[in-house]
């Protein structure tokens, strides 16, 4: 998964399993950089790398599902989720974000997937979601759900299918 990667700037290096990473020179296994691409992008679940101000700007001004979301709301959603960011290896500028709400055992809900407009069309979003899907499956989760009004074509090649509307129900709490 990805290429071998080591950075003097960040102190992270890849171990032999291809998905787990550890701080260079340390014995403690962590999951901070999940994978890297040949074109200089890396995907990390390190919460300290997230540019929360940038994520807030993306979501609150450019994501139809989150328009107007406050900075405090974005912080709270990040705190209550498993979040990942995609970064340019050179400079570590963040170019994408996603979060997963999960019980960690059987169910996960993908939300707030956002790729910076300047980096769309390069497969970053699909790579991000594919990596999350593979990681969740490896952890034994059985169901990975998302909701989208406009991106079915992005998610279908990754194994997502429409849900059975006779089985699934929703309660929109904004309407009550």
- Note down pLDDT in tens along the chain; length 176 residues: 333 333 333 444 443 334 333 344 433 334 578 789 989 999 999 999 999 999 999 999 999 999 999 999 999 999 999 999 999 987 789 999 999 999 999 999 999 999 999 999 999 999 999 999 999 999 999 999 999 999 999 999 999 999 988 888 888 888 76
Query: Which residue, 82, 86, 160, 152, is CA-closest to 123?
Result: 86
Query: Is the residue at 7 inside a domain?
Result: no
Query: Is the residue at 5 inside a domain?
Result: no
Query: Which residue, 141, 136, 78, 159, is CA-closest to 112?
Result: 78
d(CA 14, CA 92): 17
Q: Which domain holds residue 148?
A: 12-175
Query: Is the residue at 4 inside a domain?
Result: no
Q: Which two tokens stand for residue 98?
A: 């996603």
pTM for the model: 0.80
Query: Is the residue at 3 inside a domain?
Result: no
Query: Is the residue at 25 inside a domain?
Result: yes
d(CA 161, CA 146): 10
Query: Is the residue at 78 inside a domain?
Result: yes
CATH of residue 155's domain is 3.40.630.30
CA angle 93, 43, 112 (to 5 degrees): 85
Query: Is the residue at 137 inside a domain?
Result: yes
Q: Domain count of the chain?
A: 1
Query: Is the residue at 2 inside a domain?
Result: no
């Amino acid at each position: 998964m990805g290429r071998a990667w080591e950075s003097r700037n960040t102190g992270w290096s890849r171990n032999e399993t291809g998905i787990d990473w550890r701080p260079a020179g340390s014995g403690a296994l962590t999951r901070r950089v999940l994978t890297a691409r040949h074109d200089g992008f890396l995907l990390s679940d390190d919460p300290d790398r997230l540019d929360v101000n940038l994520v807030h700007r993306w979501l609150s001004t450019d994501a139809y599902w989150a328009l107007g979301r406050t900075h405090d709301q974005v912080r709270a959603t990040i705190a209550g989720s498993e979040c990942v960011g995609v970064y340019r290896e050179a400079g570590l500028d963040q170019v994408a974000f996603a979060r997963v709400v999960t019980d960690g055992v059987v169910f996960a809900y993908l939300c707030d997937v956002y790729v910076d407009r300047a980096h769309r069309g390069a497969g970053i979003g699909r790579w991000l979601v594919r990596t999350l899907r593979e990681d969740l499956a490896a952890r034994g989760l059985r169901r990975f759900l998302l909701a989208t009004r406009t991106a079915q074509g992005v998610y279908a090649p990754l194994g997502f299918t429409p849900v059975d509307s006779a089985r699934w129900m929703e309660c929109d709490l904004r309407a009550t």
